[in-house]
Structure 1
Amino acid sequence: MNSKRTSPHRALVRLRRSRFARNVAMVAAGTAGAQAITMAFSPVVTRIYGPEIFGLLGTFMAIVAVAIPVAGLAYPIAIVLPKDDRDALGLARLSAMLSVAVSLMIAVALWVGGDWLSVTLGAESIGGYLFLIPLAMLFAASMQIAQQWLIRKKEFGVLARSAIVQSLILNGAKTGIGWLHPLSAVLIVLATLGPALHAALLFIGARRRYGAGATEAQGTSGATLKELAHRHRDFPFYRAPQNFINAASRSMPVLMLAAFFGPAAAGFYTVGQMVMGMPSTLMGKAVQNVFYPRITEAAHNGENLHQHIVRATGALLAIGIVPFGLVMLFGPWLFSFVFGEAWAVAGEYARWLALFFLFNFINNPSVASVPVLGIQGGLLIYELFSTGGKVVGLLVGVYWFDSDVWAVALFSVIGVIAYSAMILWIFLCAKQWRKDEKTS
């Protein structure tokens, strides 16, 4: 009887002593602070700008989101993997060079064919802002490089503090400038500059933590950039296309809703997606950032990877079921109460998006495990089928039912099926990886 009473206490003690749990808590605390600031400002921001302005922002960000994954050709994600710091620093330099080159190429392409692109996507309303896309790509790549280096060094405190400061400055700017000029240009320009501010804060934090040696690497191998590019070629060949397709699938609802139902519908979806994505950003991203170096270390040590994946996935499911479940039940009322009566439709969207983002939330440990398991080619194939299914769902909702709500609902349900299949697939790959390690 006594052992039963002390078992939860022992589990709690082990959890508090767990370095993994402490790191997750640190990153989650920083992300929670950033999201709390965003939520605190949101009732004011949504009343200042309105659904149509948010629709224009959502359309712009949907295009930017598709462009960002190709900026560094996914090489920043590889920074965590090498055992040698000099190789990791080489990957950071390679990523920076590629991001500059790709951004310049996109700038030239937009200068030549920007009008055609805006007409093709039905996004003529934001055609004047397309020139900001190369800057947004470059800033986002810089932020990702800084994040991955700090994740490698396990400087999660720097990541947490930078997220809070960036959110405070950005939301303060949205509100302050919006009182004077409630224009879509304000939101679009600030969305472009946000990653640049975040990257600057990350670099400043790293410098303060390490001083002048913040970017100096210790090690003995020091491979050339060409060797590093070849060694990690699966990232541009498989992960960059997968990220691109995934971003396209997430952007498709905004673009289609804007094209078929107007900018207000895109605005409703943008806010619904923003709110439902917060728990995934809060805890899911924190777990992924901490889990990625941890699963890499576990692979180097020959540990049982599928057990790590199962435990992390189960913990996220237990955490996410309550907040997402509340939105499924009371979405329209909650959105009307928090953001104003004009946003009730966003709450209806959010009911379905809550289901989608719950499975996106618990999927983070699986995604973090992909580079370690060496299955990025398989992830690309999965993404093709997943995106195809979600696009079919959107088209059926738009053309068959002629309903924006049906389009969002079908997109979400097909996404849930796809995420479930992915989690099962990666779990089986992790078990097979364990068997292969034992026999090798």
Structure 2
Amino acid sequence: MNALISRFLKGGFIRKVLVMVSGTAGAQAIILLASPVITRIYGPEAFGVLGVFMAVSMILIPASGLGYPIAIVLPKHEEEAVGLTKISLWLSVGMALLSLVIAFLFGEELLELLNFTDINNYLYFIPLVILFGSLLQISEQWAVRLQEFGVIARTNMYHALIVQGSMVGIGLIYPFAFVLILMNVTGQLLKAVFMGTGSLRKRKSKGSIDVTHPPLKETARKYKDFPRYRAPEMFLNAVSQNIPIMLLSSLFGPAAAGFFTLSRRVLAAPATLIGKAVGDVFYPRITEAYYNKESLQKLIKKATLGLSLAGLIPYGTVVLLGPWLFGFVFGDEWVQAGEYARWMALASFFGFINSPSVKALPVLSAQGFQLLFTIVMLIVRIAMLAVGSFVFESDLVAIALFGLSGAVLNSLLIMITINISKKFDETSLNKTEGE
């Protein structure tokens, strides 16, 4: 048995996941320890303002580079990865400048139309968070490409310590939503700098810092599936994830948005601790398996099963004890957030275990399917929220329907992806035998 465990831990994939988890565990420990203090300092309304601001920003960030940052991991040769980085940087800067112009000309009118006047004072932070979030995307994908998982782990821990510590320290003097927003914006920049510096050091050590690259137009054309399919998919997925905050704030007030924001923050802990670690390690691993003609279906199944076992306890506990846990840990005014979390945990569990499937879809050349599925998911989720809000006139029913629909749709995504990978493996095997 000891020999089996030793051999299991020596596996490259598992070892890299453990490196990621070790640093991320430290970051999550800091966040969870700080959260009961932060919730008692700021309250649901301040969290609601933060939630609306981040919802608007998070919808714009993923698509700001038109999906090209995600492609950085894929090229076999570094020259193309450098070209993709330059394309991503130009697009991100352009998107940030465009958002600044829109904020200046129409920002207040748009916020008033959507009933988001609570974030009027933070309007000009949005272009900054778009730019910093895009830089973070690029630096993170380079760290994944170089398999610098230790850098990612350390960065997560430093970022959590600085941001959470500042929220607590400054909040004791100035307990307003401005502090929460400011630290989230600057935190994105700090994380991008830490991660980018670590990756740059690795590239210098390899002597590849001055590498040339093909013309940018040629590179952009080669990876055109990313702006064609992945960018709109990321945008629509972000809308799907963040629309509850926007709807709750508009219809039920900032406190309801605050309950949702805290619930999502807590439920994101397992996904950040394990799911993202597995996903970041799995992406280059399945890319390598593709080039080596390995079975992709087998890899996806094994990773999904492992995540299922890992997620049962944390998400199951929230389903059973959510309201009591939130009241005990965060204070009596947060019991309603526990009711939200109980239903959201269902969707979060299946979102947690679908990470290998989502990471596999670009390798399977199935980004068109991913876009179509995301459109369906967005329509269904909006419909469920609308039924709960307008038919039942209940924020809790809206969240319950949102959570149930997310669980069903994410489980379908996993099953379809496994089926796609099976057909992909069969086609690849036939090609190999034909050669």
Instruction: State the TM bucket, normalised to the shorter chain.
Output: over 0.9
Aligned-partner SS, 1:163: helix
Deviations along 1:309-329, one digit per CA (max 9) or x if unpaired, are 000000000000011101101
Q: Which residue of 1 aligns with 2:233?
A: 242
Quote the offset at 1:192 in angstroms: 1.2
Quote the offset at 1:255 in angstroms: 0.7
Quote the offset at 1:209 in angstroms: 4.4
- Aligned to 2:409, which of 398, 410, 418? 418
Task: Say whether residues 1:365 and 2:348 are aligned partners.
Answer: no
Distance in structure 2 (CA, Å) of the matches to 1:43 and 1:384: 36
Q: Which residue of 2 aligns with 1:279?
A: 270
- Paired residues in the alignment total 431
- Aligned to 1:74, which of 63, 67, 74? 67
- Aligned to 2:185, which of 181, 185, 192? 192
Contact 1:73 1:235 in 2 (8 A): yes
Aligned-partner SS, 1:112: helix
Distance in structure 1 (CA, Å) of the matches to 2:84 and 2:209: 13
Quote the offset at 1:391 in angstroms: 0.6
Distance in structure 1 (CA, Å) of the matches to 2:109 and 2:71: 35
Task: Say whether residues 1:170 and 2:163 are aligned partners.
Answer: yes
Query: Where do 5+ consecutive residues of structure 2 fail to align?
Result: none
User: Structure 1's 229 and 207: CA in aligned 2 closer, same or farther, altered over 3 A?
Assistant: closer
User: Structure 1's 223 and 365: CA in aligned 2 closer, same or farther, altered over 3 A?
Assistant: same
Quote the offset at 1:210 in angstroms: 5.1
Contact 2:297 2:422 in 1 (8 A): yes
Q: Report the AA paired with residue 391 of structure 1.
A: I
Contact 2:339 2:396 in 1 (8 A): yes
Aligned-partner SS, 1:303: coil
User: Superposition pairs for residues 191-270 of structure 1, below 5 Å?
Assistant: 191-209=184-202, 211=204, 216=209, 222-270=213-261
Distance in structure 2 (CA, Å) of the matches to 1:390 and 1:436: 35
Task: Say whether residues 1:139 and 2:127 are aligned partners.
Answer: no
Q: Report the AA paired with residue 49 of structure 2.
A: L
Contact 1:306 1:427 in 2 (8 A): yes
Task: Say whether residues 1:299 and 2:290 are aligned partners.
Answer: yes
Q: Which residue of 1 aligns with 2:93?
A: 100
Q: Give the TM-score normalised by structure 2.
A: 0.97
Query: Where do 5+ consecutive residues of structure 1 fail to align?
Result: 1-5
Aligned-partner SS, 2:115: coil
Task: Say whether residues 1:87 and 2:80 are aligned partners.
Answer: yes
Quote the offset at 1:13 in angstroms: 2.5
- Aligned to 1:49, which of 42, 50, 75? 42
User: Structure 1's 137 and 213: CA in aligned 2 closer, same or farther, altered over 3 A?
Assistant: farther
Aligned-partner SS, 2:213: coil
Distance in structure 2 (CA, Å) of the matches to 1:145 and 1:215: 17
User: Structure 1's 93 and 335: CA in aligned 2 closer, same or farther, altered over 3 A?
Assistant: same
- Aligned to 2:58, which of 46, 59, 65? 65
Contact 1:122 1:255 in 2 (8 A): no
Distance in structure 1 (CA, Å) of the matches to 2:246 and 2:207: 41
Distance in structure 2 (CA, Å) of the matches to 1:408 and 1:181: 32
Structure 1 runs of 4+ aligned residues shifted over 2 Å read: 203-215
- Aligned to 2:10, which of 17, 31, 44? 17
Deviations along 1:121-169, one digit per CA (max 9) or x if unpaired, are 2101112212111110110111111111111111100110011001100
Contact 1:398 1:404 in 2 (8 A): yes
Distance in structure 2 (CA, Å) of the matches to 1:208 and 1:320: 35
Aligned-partner SS, 2:262: helix
Contact 1:207 1:213 in 2 (8 A): no
Q: Which residue of 1 aligns with 2:315?
A: 324
Aligned-partner SS, 1:81: coil
Distance in structure 1 (CA, Å) of the matches to 2:90 and 2:44: 38
Contact 1:359 1:416 in 2 (8 A): yes
User: Structure 1's 10 and 97: CA in aligned 2 closer, same or farther, altered over 3 A?
Assistant: same
User: Superposition pairs for residues 114-153 of structure 1, below 5 Å?
Assistant: 114-153=107-146
Distance in structure 1 (CA, Å) of the matches to 2:150 and 2:413: 31
Distance in structure 2 (CA, Å) of the matches to 1:36 and 1:322: 17
Contact 1:207 1:214 in 2 (8 A): no
Aligned-partner SS, 1:80: coil
Quote the offset at 1:98 in angstroms: 0.9
Aligned-partner SS, 2:61: helix
Contact 2:140 2:196 in 1 (8 A): no
Q: Report the AA paired with residue 334 of structure 2.
A: W
Contact 2:72 2:85 in 1 (8 A): yes
Aligned-partner SS, 2:122: helix
Contact 1:86 1:217 in 2 (8 A): no
Distance in structure 1 (CA, Å) of the matches to 2:207 and 2:320: 48
Aligned-partner SS, 2:209: coil
Distance in structure 2 (CA, Å) of the matches to 1:211 and 1:374: 32
Q: Which residue of 2 aligns with 1:429?
A: 420
Distance in structure 2 (CA, Å) of the matches to 1:137 and 1:280: 23
Root-mean-square deviation (CA, aligned residues, Å) is: 1.4
Distance in structure 1 (CA, Å) of the matches to 2:421 and 2:214: 29
Deviations along 1:318-372, one digit per CA (max 9) or x if unpaired, are 0000111011010011001111111000001010111111001000000000110
Q: Report the AA paired with residue 132 of structure 1.
A: F
